[in-house]
Amino acid sequence: MTELAEHKNGLARALLAYCGVFVFTQVLVFVITYYFDFDNPAMGLIIIMAASLAAGNVFAAHTKRLPSRGEKFKFGFLATICSLVLAYVALWAMFQWYGLPFNKDMIAFALAGGNMNQAQDVMEILPIVLGIVAVLNLLLGYFFLGMGAKQTVKQQAKMAG
């Protein structure tokens, strides 16, 4: 069994917390956007930050320590993969809900806001945008896992002494 599967270092629990908070806040943002006509492109970053903070809290609560640099990097990498997979599944589900074919042309059309002229431009820059998003996700996961854990460790020390 791997370290992750055995829950030795708390990363598995942290990753589960990350995924749960990520899905919950994604749904919350969708509801707010839908009912209150509030759209902010930074919400994606805020979702990652909130999920990583929660994961850091869970990690520290389980292990009673701060994560190492390697653990933070591993978490950031795995959280990035989870985020991309969850976003892909959400996009697929949305297309299924509306009965649309799920292919790269329709994805480009949707990302271009329904403008067929801009859909080709979107397809050309999409790999670059996904790369930037992945790097941001990795960095935010790395730093905010540490911040969440630090907050919990400080709270534990305050309660103990």
Q: Are 122 and 132 in contact (CB under 8 A)?
A: no
Q: How far apart are CA 102 and CA 89, in angstroms?
A: 11
pLDDT for the residue 15: 97
* 22-31, 78-87, 136-145: the lowest-pLDDT one: 22-31
> How many residues make up the chain in this entry?
161
Q: How far apart are CA 112 and CA 8, in angstroms?
A: 45
Q: Are 47 and 29 in contact (CB under 8 A)?
A: yes
pLDDT above 80 for 38: no
Cα dist. 10→51, 84, 147, 159 in Å?
15, 22, 15, 21
For 68-116, what is each residue's pLDDT tens digit?
Answer: 999 999 999 999 999 999 989 988 988 898 898 998 888 888 888 888 8
pLDDT above 80 for 4: no
- Domain borders along the chain are 3-160
pLDDT above 70 for 7: no
* Across 57-63, average pLDDT: 95
Q: Which amino acid is at 13?
A: R
**Tokens 């749904």, located at residue:** 27
Nearest alpha-carbon partner for 138 in 73, 86, 85: 73
Q: What is the pTM of this model?
A: 0.86
pLDDT for the residue 8: 63
Nearest alpha-carbon partner for 93 in 14, 11, 30: 30
Region class of 114: left (phi > 0), else alpha (psi between -120 and 50), else beta? left
pLDDT for the residue 98: 86
